[in-house]
Amino acid sequence: MRFYLYYYNRNQNGEKMDKMKVIIADQINERGIAELEDVADVLVDTDISQEELIERIADFDAIIVRSRTKVTREVIEAADNLKIIARAGVGVDNVDIEAATEKGIMVVNAPESTSITVAEHTMGLILALARKISLADRSVKEGKWDKSKFMGIELNGKTLGIIGMGRIGSQVVTRAKAFGMEILVYDPYISKEALAELGMGVVDLETLLRDSDIITIHVPLTPETKHQISKNEFEIMKENAFIINCARGGIINEEDLYEALQSGKISGAALDVFEVEPPVDNPLLNFDNVILSPHIGASTSEAQRDAAIIVANEVKTVLKGGSPKNVVNMPVLDSETLQIIKPHSKLAEKLSSFLIQTAKGNIKEVNVTYCGDLAEFQRRDVLTRVILQEILNPILTEPVNLVNAPTVAKNRGIIITEGVRSDAEGHKSLIKMDVKSDGSEMSIEGTYTKAPKIVKINNYKVDVKPEGIMLIAKYVDLPGTIGALGTKLGEHGINIATMQVGRKEPGGEAVMVLKVDQSIPADVIEELKKLDNMMDAVAVNL
């Protein structure tokens, strides 16, 4: 399909003014096109070839795509006037973000467009499991009338455990409440108070698994959530539990799900997403009590319409000189600023990553103090954004970037404050971060000379390169403590590469930082915590 829509702005004298040009290269809902009518000349060409796009892209200020068109580096390099690439949907795999960022082109998407649609699909799967709808359908079509075979359960009064209370999880809540369900929530990154105020039981994962009749997953796939539901978790569940995954394949360990179903440990499962898609030779396909759909959680015309409207409005905002809300990539900074930002970003990233791995519970407050030269640096705000980005990215599905980090933090109730101090304690510059979370308070200080370096942890002086696997142990500085810890690690085949100790006075509280060659399993950390005089121990991987 190819057609032009020409719209001209007119000035006060009624004369035509130059209009911005937008190309819509994939089919999007007409409401999206209509949104742009008053601000741009719009070319809709949903058959445009890659070669033609490269040839013509220099004419355009904005491009809107879905998934057919690949906005490759080649396209971007030819795009001399392009200001924004808009993906009418969630994933941006078909856009070369790096190339766009290098060229200073914003990439936007519409992450909120599918939330209601996915929540509705989740409810559909819950109902299908509770009432065996797909089996019953098949049976009637086979000419049977087995009424007694399809005895179901009511949702009313049942407990729904929701893992992940983001955009989709919260939409599931309202729908499940309408069915009279009790809600339990596990999301360690959202303020418990806010959730409790909305009438949800906020619990730890174990309680959720133990007390829920139906469990539904709405977290992103991250290293932390990969196989979040495995053998141990199935063992905790009720005998008659159902589990639903409309999030991402890989969050449920499919082998362990198979075992749980095969042994009758749980009653059924519904999956819209799989570890390998499509699921070929997957033994889960053989269970009658497993309901499957081909990753269609987001597939409704309304979600597509909303995605088109959302990105068209983002394009409109950018063409009018405003700031869009769903920017996936970073703003461009001048080279002088970049020279300072680059090394200190690395430092900020490491310090943030350290803090997010050591803080207990969800982070509530982050205080950043820029010391020495950094106290004079005008674009400290960018470093603060880097810190927020690093803290939020591991826990959210939407990419958090330098543009949207403060908004995302604000929406999640995280308070961030920025301060300056001229004294950098003998260093040229220093970043100090104090973090308050539900269960702890942590402080870290670092500097950058040729590489990032941690110089204080919880006010104890150290001198540590933040890289590799580290064990941080808080203990009472009494004879034998360090030895016992070394022995325990040795027993588990964990080799200590380097060790540092920070203490204020002999016999008092002290901090030990060990670099180790192997990762430290959670049960070993628990054993370390039980050693005499050991106050706390935590492993981080930087």
Catalytic residues: 248, 277, 295
> Nearest distance from residue 441's CB to ligand NAD, in Å?
21
Binding mask 121-160 for ligand NAD (x = CB under 6 A): ----------------------------------------
Tell me the number of residues near ligand NAD by CB under 6 A: 35
> Nearest distance from residue 186's CB to ligand NAD, in Å?
6
> 265, 270, 261: which is closest to 215 by C-alpha?
270
- Cα–Cα–Cα angle for 457, 204, 222, rounded to 5 degrees: 65
Dihedral sign from CA coordinates of 178, 184, 190, 194? positive
Binding mask 205-244 for ligand NAD (x = CB under 6 A): -------------xxxx--xx-------------------
Do the strands 201-202 and 182-186 form a parallel or antiparallel pair, or are they unpaired? parallel
- Taking CB under 6 A as the criterion, the residue among 161, 166, 324, 452 binding ligand NAD is 166
Residues 433-492 interacting with ligand NAD (rule: CB under 6 A): none
Nearer to ligand NAD, 115 or 326 (CB): 115
> Nearest distance from residue 240's CB to ligand NAD, in Å?
23
* Residue in this structure with the two tokens 């009624």, named with its chain if needed: 14
- Cα–Cα–Cα angle for 227, 201, 122, rounded to 5 degrees: 55
> Nearest distance from residue 170's CB to ligand NAD, in Å?
8
Nearer to ligand NAD, 229 or 309 (CB): 229
Nearer to ligand NAD, 169 or 268 (CB): 169
Q: Residue 200, interface with ligand NAD (CB under 6 A)?
A: no
- Taking CB under 6 A as the criterion, the residue among 247, 319, 494, 537 binding ligand NAD is 247
Q: Residue 189, interface with ligand NAD (CB under 6 A)?
A: yes
Euclidean distance between CA atoms 165 and 167, whole angstroms: 7
- Cα–Cα–Cα angle for 300, 302, 303, rounded to 5 degrees: 70
> 241, 90, 223, 226: which is closest to 168 by C-alpha?
90
Euclidean distance between CA atoms 353 and 478, whole angstroms: 30
Q: Residue 385, interface with ligand NAD (CB under 6 A)?
A: no
- Taking CB under 6 A as the criterion, the residue among 65, 82, 110, 190 binding ligand NAD is 190
Residue closest to ligand NAD, measured at CB: 166
Q: Residue 66, interface with ligand NAD (CB under 6 A)?
A: no
- What is the residue type of 32? G
Question: For the chain, what is the total number of helices (H) and then of strands (E)?
Answer: 17, 23
Binding mask 81-120 for ligand NAD (x = CB under 6 A): ---------x--------------------x--xx--x--
Euclidean distance between CA atoms 475 and 478, whole angstroms: 8
Please check whether residue 25 is in contact with residue 53, taking contact to mean a CB–CB distance below 8 angstroms.
Answer: yes
Q: Residue 398, interface with ligand NAD (CB under 6 A)?
A: yes
> Nearest distance from residue 246's CB to ligand NAD, in Å?
5
Q: Residue 169, interface with ligand NAD (CB under 6 A)?
A: yes
- Taking CB under 6 A as the criterion, the residue among 45, 96, 272, 390 binding ligand NAD is 272
Q: Provide the angle, in degrees to the nearest 10, between the axes of the packed helices 115-131 and 301-319.
A: 160
Record the tokens describing residue 298, joined without a space.
């987001």
C-alpha dist (Å) from residue 121 to 15, 118, 208, 293, 532: 51, 5, 22, 10, 52
- Taking CB under 6 A as the criterion, the residue among 396, 416, 435, 537 binding ligand NAD is 396
Q: What is the DSSP letter of 112?
A: G
Euclidean distance between CA atoms 360 and 396, whole angstroms: 17
Query: Hey, is 118 helix, strand or coil?
Result: helix
The site for ligand NAD (CB under 6 A) is made up of: 90, 111, 114-115, 118, 163-169, 186-190, 218-221, 224-225, 246-248, 272-273, 295, 297-298, 395-398
